[in-house]
Structure 1
């Protein structure tokens, strides 16, 4: 009986140890499961927050583009036309004026022409007339030519036919995306050469921007560095595109934008 009692006690102790082990194991499993659940919730909240930020940025940028187009249209179609009309009215008075008054009229015309030119230039800065009339590749080619100087040379290449047009809103967004990258190259890259290329493969548009500048550490780039990467990413994401940036210190920079059209 003593042996049976001792054996039973040992068996109970073993069962108790097994239950204790299972309880501790269950506690660990629950702990890690709970932590994993918290991490998933945090990631989900972070993802929602990022999406919300992108939506806010895109809404802001879309509003800016809309206002830019409105202001450009008003300047070009209305203000510029009014200034031209004023010039014609001034010409009508010229024959009835004295020599002194004609000299004053000449000065007035010079000021009027200066105002007209400034309005025209501002209108063109807001929205490229080549972009509206001829399309993306002509506007980007003109942008490269205008930004080229003795310090940095922008070269433009394209395999797209001259008469090919994208959707107007699509072209406008891509134009300002590339324009922002070119501004970054001018301000920060210290490059002597920069290539802008457009390649169309059936339904995929690939834009490459490659410079031979000083490059940068991609991991250290933030929206406060003056590059505006967050806004650019938002623009690209808004047209369902993909952005890849390859760079390194003294290794130049390669920017690739891929968009399904």
Structure 2
């Protein structure tokens, strides 16, 4: 039974990694490569003889605009892979920024509080916590249609715990099939890496509550 569970966890991790790689490859191809191709074509056009000043200005403006967009998109891709604020200032700052991003771009109200002093030397472990929250927040919006999210890090009798809630449409948590999606398996795998436990509590129409230890 344990071996089967470990196999399922490993499978979930591999599938998630491949999905992520596919998404990054798509982003690089669509956002970066296509724009740089047009920049290259425009650069060759500049070397054409008998260009008017207006034509030269138009081509130059195209190159500047496309280069700026390619640069902005490459920053976004890098940021999604690992936010600089997380790497530089740790988990607390990373989650604060994550909440700000959700509030500004995805029109959801977030409430975040932290009572734990995170040690920067554990950043590899903290990355799992960050990814779990990313997954939970995306699920809250994508599936739960939530408008409010609550996140709290507390130390409960010596155990570090994350309490997560939303006010979305919820699901029947007594039905295990609802907890078998790829995102849930990925969360499960990360909690396992943290030697923690996780508990989902939800009812249809009453949002979701998740508690995990780490």
User: Which TM-score applies when normalising by structure 2?
Assistant: 0.73
Q: How does 1:78-157 map to 2 (within 5 A)?
A: 99-100=53-54, 101-148=56-103, 152-157=108-113
Q: Answer 1 or 2: higher relative contact order, Cα 8 Å, separation at least 6.
A: 2
Residues of 2 paired with 1:128 and 1:257: CA distance? 23
Q: Give aligned pairs, total.
A: 192
Residues of 2 paired with 1:135 and 1:212: CA distance? 28
Residues of 2 paired with 1:214 and 1:62: CA distance? 25
Q: Corresponding residue for 1:197?
A: 152
Residues of 1 paired with 2:192 and 2:15: CA distance? 12
Alpha-carbon displacement from aligned partner over 1:71-97 (angstroms, at most 9, x marks no partner): 8xxx9xxx9xxx9xx9xxx9xxxxxx9
3-state secondary structure, aligned to 1:160: coil
Measured after TM superposition, the shift of residue 57 of structure 1 is: 3.5
Q: Corresponding residue for 1:158?
A: 114
3-state secondary structure, aligned to 2:200: strand
Q: How does 1:1-261 map to 2 (within 5 A)?
A: 46-58=1-13, 60=14, 99-100=53-54, 101-148=56-103, 152-161=108-117, 164-200=119-155, 204-222=159-177, 226=181, 228-259=183-214
Is the 8 Å Cα contact of residues 223 and 230 (structure 1) preserved in structure 2?
A: no
**Which segments of 5 or more consecutive residues in structure 2 lack a partner in the other structure?**
44-50
Q: Corresponding residue for 1:21?
A: none
Residues of 2 paired with 1:248 and 1:158: CA distance? 26
Residues of 1 paired with 2:195 and 2:164: CA distance? 19
**Which segments of 5 or more consecutive residues in structure 1 lack a partner in the other structure?**
1-45, 91-96
* Change beyond 3 A, Cα 1:55–1:188: closer
